[in-house]
């Protein structure tokens, strides 16, 4: 049976040869069909890489065929609207509808299991209101900031040119210009496509310092001064880590470096470009906060902050201690959840490294409150935020504004083909293939980007009004309910101002606070008396 198809094809080819030689014309058709397949069977038997093909010549190729089309078959024919990851059909459809100004309502009730663990919902008011505006904004810039920026509540998260096509970057930036919101450059630098339409930019500085990089890969202050003076750049964000691959550096091989990438990144042609996992400009918490102050001074007072996916709690606490010790406070912190996306990452990092957004955002917010400095720093949030409810959840857990990457990719036409790393993106969003990206028409997609932003904030505003509120800063954790049976969950602990210094501070915060030190990101090895003491257990009575 294993060789039956192969044997039949040999027979058909042989009979076709005989018939063709006898002047029967369709014999040659049989040879044209069966002959190449017979040769494929011979190849399968002789090759040594795939045992399956040696045992099942010809028919084994069906496995690869079905494996190749499996994602499309599942996505379009099998999965329900509430299935699939990273984003289900209902979520994707919401973005498409809002981007296209189509109907955004759903019939017949929710498809979510409202009694499952981790289900989240908001409480509403018997006295709903109508917000005065849906153009919600937050002013970013502390006491040391001379050029504060009124950022939209919803913005484009970090995505680099190179990961996205030039047309995609253009459409995003033009959409940001039309809608009056910000576009984070990603760590790949500011390309010509970012500048073409003049939308507000958040310049992200990763460990490669693209745009202000010295020949040896270190930070170049003079280049930074020149770049940061651009009025299109509204804020500067130092990337410590990214949710999808925290703690992971990267190498751009010389073979993939194009003149456009050279122009954007400020790197030479013909040499591998290395982005180390750690920043060369600093190695301790104190050095880090001083570096932030240096950037603020060199940029003439533009808002400066940093982005991270929360990892070891004591390391973030060490940065907080350094802020207080040096009296240097960033203007903002963006918390990126480990559920965030990327063009390509090792599966170990994507699936198993970093703190998810809910826990990370709550931890950062409580740490700043507990240290008594929350009023000095704004918090942004990113990680699978595409709807008004996602924005509301982030705000209730401590965010001041939100960013979205894949949401705006869907607005560009992304179909979640998950081929970003292959350079064969079917919609021209995540590719450098010039023929593929031509399919993405910039004026049309820019309008969709602006519409998605506008309609998402309208959806959020209507939900806000249903809670009896008319301003985003009125949302508190008290209106958000997340079902979890684990009372030890980080989300159940709330800190009062300066509570980190009190003996009653909850252990998940007290322990890393005691372990944090400003001279190193390593845990403090001080005496045990300096460590947090677990509270006495409380026993039920009666």
The full length of the chain comes to 542
With 90 as the cut, is the pLDDT of residue 136 above it?
yes
On average, the pLDDT of the chain sits at: 88
Instruction: Give the other-Cβ count within 10 Å of 526's Cβ.
Output: 11
With 50 as the cut, is the pLDDT of residue 536 above it?
no
> Could you give the residue ranges of the DSSP H alpha helices within 163-256?
166-179, 192-195, 221-228
Of residues 88 and 286, more confidently modeled: 286
With 90 as the cut, is the pLDDT of residue 253 above it?
no
With 50 as the cut, is the pLDDT of residue 353 above it?
yes
Mean pLDDT within 459-468: 95
Residue 82: predicted pLDDT? 61
Residue 83: predicted pLDDT? 65
Residue 488: predicted pLDDT? 60
For residue range 1-19, what is the model confidence (pLDDT) as tens digits?
788 988 999 999 999 999 9
Q: Which of 51-55, 254-258, 310-314 has the lowest mean pLDDT?
A: 254-258
Q: Would you say 382 and 338 are in contact if contact means Cβ atoms under 8 Å apart?
A: no
Of residues 157 and 262, more confidently modeled: 157
Tokens describing residue 303 = 């808002």
**For 534, what's the count of Cα atoms within 13 Å in the CB-facing half-sphere?**
4
Burial class (CB in 10 A: 0-12, 13-18, 19+), 108: exposed
Residue 526: predicted pLDDT? 54
> Band of the pLDDT at 531, cuts 50, 70, 90?
very low
Q: Which of 172-176, 180-184, 399-403, 475-479 has the lowest mean pLDDT?
A: 475-479
Q: Measure the CA–CA gap between 91 and 386, rounded to whole angstroms.
A: 8
Residues in contact with 136: Cβ distance below 8 Å, sequence separation at least 6, in sequence order = 152, 153, 457, 460, 461, 471, 472
Burial class (CB in 10 A: 0-12, 13-18, 19+), 434: exposed
Instruction: Give the other-Cβ count within 10 Å of 137's Cβ.
Output: 15
Q: Measure the CA–CA gap between 528 and 417, rounded to whole angstroms.
A: 52
Instruction: Give the other-Cβ count within 10 Å of 226's Cβ.
Output: 13
Q: Measure the CA–CA gap between 200 and 235, rounded to whole angstroms.
A: 9
Q: Which of 279-288, 410-419, 465-474 has the lowest mean pLDDT?
A: 410-419
Mean pLDDT within 402-419: 90
Mean pLDDT within 393-408: 95
> Band of the pLDDT at 81, cuts 50, 70, 90?
low
Residue 307: predicted pLDDT? 97
Partner residues linked to 520 by β-bridges: 517
With 60 as the cut, is the pLDDT of residue 258 above it?
yes
Residue 426: predicted pLDDT? 86
Instruction: Give the other-Cβ count within 10 Å of 255's Cβ.
Output: 7
Round to the nearest angstrom and report the end-to-end CA distance of the chain.
73
Mean pLDDT within 356-378: 95
> Band of the pLDDT at 377, cuts 50, 70, 90?
very high
Q: Are strands 154-156 and 149-152 parallel, antiparallel or unpaired?
A: unpaired
With 50 as the cut, is the pLDDT of residue 361 above it?
yes
Q: Measure the CA–CA gap between 86 and 32, rounded to whole angstroms.
A: 45
* 534: DSSP letter: P
With 60 as the cut, is the pLDDT of residue 537 above it?
no
The helix/strand/coil state of 137 is strand
Residue 302 phi/psi, 5-degree rounding, is -75, 155
Residue 538: predicted pLDDT? 39
With 80 as the cut, is the pLDDT of residue 153 above it?
yes
The helix/strand/coil state of 58 is coil
Mean pLDDT within 368-387: 96
Measuring CA to CA, which residue among 424, 377, 419, 423 is closest to residue 401?
A: 377
Residue 487: predicted pLDDT? 59
Tokens describing residue 375 = 């009023």
Q: Are strands 233-239 and 332-336 parallel, antiparallel or unpaired?
A: unpaired
For residue range 447-457, what is the model confidence (pLDDT) as tens digits?
999 999 999 99
* 495: DSSP letter: -
Q: Would you say 246 and 354 are in contact if contact means Cβ atoms under 8 Å apart?
A: yes
Instruction: Give the other-Cβ count within 10 Å of 2's Cβ.
Output: 12
Mean pLDDT within 23-28: 89
Mean pLDDT within 149-156: 98
Mean pLDDT within 90-97: 88
Mean pLDDT within 317-330: 97
Q: Are strands 201-205 and 183-184 parallel, antiparallel or unpaired?
A: parallel
* 540: DSSP letter: P
Percent of the chain with pLDDT over 70: 93
Of residues 99 and 486, more confidently modeled: 99
| pTM for the model | 0.85
Q: Which of 110-114, 432-436, 476-480 has the lowest mean pLDDT?
A: 110-114
Residues in contact with 270: Cβ distance below 8 Å, sequence separation at least 6, in sequence order = 254, 257
Residue 74: predicted pLDDT? 67
With 60 as the cut, is the pLDDT of residue 293 above it?
yes
Q: Measure the CA–CA gap between 468 and 475, rounded to whole angstroms.
A: 10
Please enumerate, as own/partner, the contacts of 192-197 that have beta carbons within 8 Å and a separation of 24 or more.
Answer: 192/166, 192/260, 192/263, 192/264, 193/161, 193/166, 193/167, 193/169, 194/161, 194/169, 194/232, 195/232, 196/170, 197/170, 197/173, 197/446
Measuring CA to CA, which residue among 299, 279, 147 is closest to residue 223?
A: 299
Residue 541: predicted pLDDT? 38
Of residues 203 and 106, more confidently modeled: 203
Mean pLDDT within 287-300: 97
Q: Would you say 363 and 500 are in contact if contact means Cβ atoms under 8 Å apart?
A: no
**For 33, what's the count of Cα atoms within 13 Å in the CB-facing half-sphere?**
10
Which element (helix H / strand E) includes 270?
A: none
Mean pLDDT within 140-149: 94
The helix/strand/coil state of 481 is strand
With 90 as the cut, is the pLDDT of residue 66 above it?
no
Of residues 109 and 97, more confidently modeled: 97
Q: Which of 5-19, 121-135, 525-539 has the lowest mean pLDDT?
A: 525-539
Name the residue with tokens 């001379």: 146
Three-state helix/strand/coil letters over 285-307: HHHHHHHHHHHHHHCCCCCEEEE
Q: Which of 35-44, 196-205, 334-343, 355-364 has the lowest mean pLDDT?
A: 334-343
With 80 as the cut, is the pLDDT of residue 534 above it?
no
With 50 as the cut, is the pLDDT of residue 527 above it?
no
């Amino acid at each position: 049976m294993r060789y039956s198809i192969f044997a039949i094809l040999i027979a058909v080819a042989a009979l076709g040869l005989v018939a063709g030689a006898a002047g029967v014309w369709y014999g040659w058709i049989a040879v044209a069909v069966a002959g190449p397949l017979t040769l494929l069977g011979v190849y399968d038997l002789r090759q040594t890489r795939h045992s399956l093909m040696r045992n099942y010549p010809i028919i084994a190729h069906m496995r690869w065929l079905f494996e190749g089309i499996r994602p499309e078959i599942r996505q379009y024919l099998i999965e329900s609207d509430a299935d699939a990851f990273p984003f289900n059909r209902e979520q994707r459809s919401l973005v498409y509808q809002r981007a296209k100004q189509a109907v955004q309502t759903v019939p017949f009730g929710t498809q979510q299991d409202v009694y499952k663990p981790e289900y989240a919902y908001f409480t509403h008011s018997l006295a709903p209101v109508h917000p005065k505006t849906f153009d919600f904004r937050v002013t970013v810039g502390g006491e040391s900031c001379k050029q504060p920026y009124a950022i939209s509540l919803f913005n484009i998260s970090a995505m680099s040119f190179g990961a996205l096509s030039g047309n995609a970057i253009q459409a995003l930036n033009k959409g940001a210009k039309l809608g009056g919101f910000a576009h984070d450059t990603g760590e790949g630098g500011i390309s010509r496509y970012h500048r073409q339409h003049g939308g507000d930019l958040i310049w992200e500085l990763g460990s490669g310092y693209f745009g202000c990089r010295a020949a040896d890969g270190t930070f170049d202050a003079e280049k930074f001064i020149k770049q940061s003076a651009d009025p299109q750049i509204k804020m500067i964000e130092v990337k410590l880590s990214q949710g999808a691959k925290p703690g992971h550096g990267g190498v751009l091989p010389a073979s993939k470096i194009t003149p456009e990438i050279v122009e954007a990144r400020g790197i030479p042609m013909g040499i591998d470009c290395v982005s180390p996992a750690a920043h060369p400009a600093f190695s301790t918490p104190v050095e880090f906060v001083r570096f932030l102050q240096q950037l603020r001074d060199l940029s003439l007072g533009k808002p400066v902050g940093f982005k991270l996916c929360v990892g070891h709690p004591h390391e973030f606490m060490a940065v907080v201690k350094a802020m207080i010790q040096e009296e240097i406070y960033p203007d903002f912190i963006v918390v990126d959840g480990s559920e965030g996306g990327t063009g390509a990452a090792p599966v170990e990092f994507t699936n198993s490294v970093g703190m998810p957004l809910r826990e990370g955002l709550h931890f950062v917010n409580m740490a700043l409150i507990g240290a008594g400095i929350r009023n000095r720093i704004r918090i942004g949030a990113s990680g699978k935020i595409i709807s008004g409810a996602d924005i509301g959840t982030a705000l209730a857990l401590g965010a001041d504004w939100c960013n979205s990457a894949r949401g705006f990719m869907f607005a560009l036409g992304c179909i979640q083909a998950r081929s970003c790393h292959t350079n064969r993106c079917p919609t021209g969003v995540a590719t450098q293939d010039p023929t593929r990206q031509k399919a993405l028409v910039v004026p049309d997609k820019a309008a969709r980007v602006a519409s998605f932003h506008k309609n998402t904030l309208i959806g959020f505003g209507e939900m806000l009004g249903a809670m009896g509120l008319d301003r985003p800063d009125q949302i508190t954790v008290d209106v958000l309910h997340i079902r979890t049976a684990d009372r030890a969950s980080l989300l159940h602990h709330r800190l009062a101002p300066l509570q980190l210094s009190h003996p009653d501070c909850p252990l998940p915060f007290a322990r890393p606070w005691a372990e944090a030190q400003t001279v190193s990101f390593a845990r403090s090895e001080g005496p045990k008396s300096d460590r947090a003491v677990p509270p006495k257990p409380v026993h039920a009575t009666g």
